Each structure stands twice: as structure tokens, then as C-alpha cells.
A and B are shown apart, each in its own frame.
Chain A
Amino acid sequence: AQTVTQSQPEMSVQEAETVTLSCTYDTSENNYYLFWYKQPPSRQMILVIRQEAYKQQNATENRFSVNFQKAAKSFSLKISDSQLGDTAMYFCAFVNYGGSQGNLIFGKGTKLSVKP
């Protein structure tokens, strides 16, 4: 079974500090993509960052970066210089492109609160 586990249901961080959200996944495939999506109170799903499994270099997008450990099947998200607007649910997800039709497998999410 393909699964995604986010072990931190809720986290909080002070504004301007750094926080890391954890994600582990389980798949027998070798080729896949990993994503972090953000869902603010507006409910809109917003892509934060993506990582191709064949790339060893960790992806970065401005204040957001990942630590991708393929052998450990770990994909954590680091948010630097946290801002109030980062308050949201964060979902880790992956998709196999070998045997699937492109549907995402989601974790249950981590609720992040950024405090002033």
C-alpha cells in the first residue's frame, strides 16, 4: 500500500523563526514526485514545493526548502523566517508515474500556527 505519514498533527512557531514539518512515505516504486501543499483558512490548495525522486539535490523555493532522503523515504519541509501568512494546514503528497494515473496520495496534514 502506498501511504504518506505526517507525524505532527499540530505545530507552532514564532514569527521570524524556522520550523520543520516531517513527512515519511511508503512506495515500492522508484520513480515518483513529492509535493508539499499549503491550505490556508480560505481552503484553497496551493503548491509550495515539488521534488522529483530522481534528483538528489533538495528543492528550494525562497523561504521553503526540503530535506529529501530517498533511502529513508523521508521528505521534510523547512520554513525559514516564518511569517504570519504561513499559518495554514500543510499536506505532504506524492505521485507515482509508473503505475498510476497521476493521482496524489496525501498525508493527513500538519496544522501550523505562526505566532506574532
Chain B
Amino acid sequence: NAGVTQTPKFQVLKTGQSMTLQCAQDMNHNSMYWYRQDPGMGLRLIYYSASEGTTDKGEVPNGYNVSRLNKREFSLRLESAAPSQTSVYFCASSDFDRGRGTFYEQYFGPGTRLTVT
């Protein structure tokens, strides 16, 4: 099992350019998440997908869009990159069953370091 994979690992963009960060998991998890990590800020949730076909905004969604392509894949798109989006981006997945009150650990990808100049 590869777990959670992310591409690319590093990216440099100019202001106004667009790009898509790819994420895939092979653990058959229902829920997937995108976080950003900034120095001194911890990780903050950008968007999440509780199940295939659904997506919802997290704490810091402005400037981003997401697509849950299928159960395995959850992509994050920056339509017009800004320097404030310079960050490390993490994708994560987990099994979460609110009905049964069960939650299993989130597994994280290796991260993408994005620099916007």
C-alpha cells in the first residue's frame, strides 16, 4: 500500500498562474482533506470531502477549489495563485463514521511545498 500520495512535491508559480495539486489514497477511505501549513500556524483545513461526490469548505477556502474525482482522488486547484498561498499543502484521508461515533486516524501524504513569487 502506498497510503496517501501527493504530486508534485515542490512547485514554484508566478502570481496569477494556476495549478492543480493531486492527491490519491489506496486505503478505501471515505473522507479526504486538504490542509495548509504555514510557519507558526499549525495546519488549517482548506476543504474536505466526507464521501465521494461531496465537498465542503473548511477554515481557509478562499482562492481554492476542489474536486473529488472518485473515492481515491481529491484534487486542489489554485485558479490564480497569490503570494499569500505560499505554503506547504497536505492531503489526508480517514474513515469516519458519525453514525457509529467512530473515528480512525488521519493518514497524511508527504506534502507539497508551493512557492508563489
Contacts and interface: CB of A to CB of B under 8 A. Distances in A.
Interface of A: 4, 9, 31, 33, 35, 42-45, 47, 50, 91, 93, 95, 97-98, 101-104, 106-109
Interface stretch (B19-27, B65-73, B75-83, B97-105): B97-105
B90 interface: yes
Interface of B: 31, 33, 40-45, 48, 50, 56, 58, 88, 90, 92, 94, 96, 98, 101-103, 105-106, 108, 110-111, 113
Contacts of B110: 42-44
Q: State the majority secondary structure of interface residues on A.
A: loop
Given A101-B48, A102-B50, A103-B48, A95 B40 contact: no
A97 B98 contact: yes
A104 B31 contact: no
Contact of A102 (B42, B43, B94): B94
Contacts of A43: 88, 110-111, 113
Contacts of B31: 101-102
Contacts of B106: 47, 102, 104
A76 B86 CA distance: 31
A113 to B, nearest CB: 17
Nearest to A106: B42
18 contacts: A35-B105, A43-B88, A91-B42, A91-B43, A95-B103, A97-B96, A97-B98, A97-B102, A101-B48, A101-B96, A101-B98, A102-B33, A102-B94, A102-B96, A103-B33, A103-B48, A104-B106, A108-B41
